[in-house]
């Protein structure tokens, strides 16, 4: 089954919180879209998932482990399971990030 997602229709900003839209949620893959006003932040956290953070629009600072990466539109950042990750919209910049994650790894 094919699913087409028009990201332009999914982008919403809120002054008091990060906008989070679940675009796809299947056993094989989860896709979320997060929209941040300038200065808003998704604090670093860990998850047992493989992750790609894709900067759709704007500019921000992405944290992966101990590394801070300044990224802008059309930049993808890959993260291994259980590595702390997060991002913050740069001053004066809105940030739109699409996160794609795989299922938890099993032993």
- pLDDT tens-digit series, residues 6-16: 999 999 999 99
For residue 44, the domain's CATH number is: 2.60.120.10
Tell whether pTM > 0.85: yes
Does residue 64 lie in a domain region? Answer: yes
- pLDDT tens-digit series, residues 38-78: 999 999 999 999 999 999 999 999 999 999 999 999 999 99
Report DSSP letters for the chain, one per residue. Answer: ------HHHH----SSS-EEEEEEE-SS-EEEEEEE-TT-EEEEE--SS-EEEEEEEEEEEEEETTEEEEEETTEEEEE-TT--EEEEEPTT--EEEEEEEPPPP--
Does residue 87 lie in a domain region? Answer: yes
The domain total for the chain is 1
Provide the domain limits for residue 24. 7-101
Does residue 1 lie in a domain region? Answer: no
């Amino acid at each position: 089954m094919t699913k087409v997602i028009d990201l332009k229709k999914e982008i919403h900003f809120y002054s008091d919180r990060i906008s989070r839209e679940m675009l796809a949620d299947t056993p094989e893959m989860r896709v979320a879209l997060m929209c941040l006003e300038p200065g808003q932040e998704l604090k670093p956290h860990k998850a047992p998932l493989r992750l790609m953070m894709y900067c759709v629009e704007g500019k921000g600072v992405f944290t992966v482990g101990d590394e801070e990466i300044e990224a802008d539109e059309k930049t993808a950042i890959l993260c291994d399971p259980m590595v702390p990750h997060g991002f913050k919209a740069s001053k004066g910049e809105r940030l739109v990030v699409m996160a794609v994650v795989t299922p938890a790894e099993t032993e």
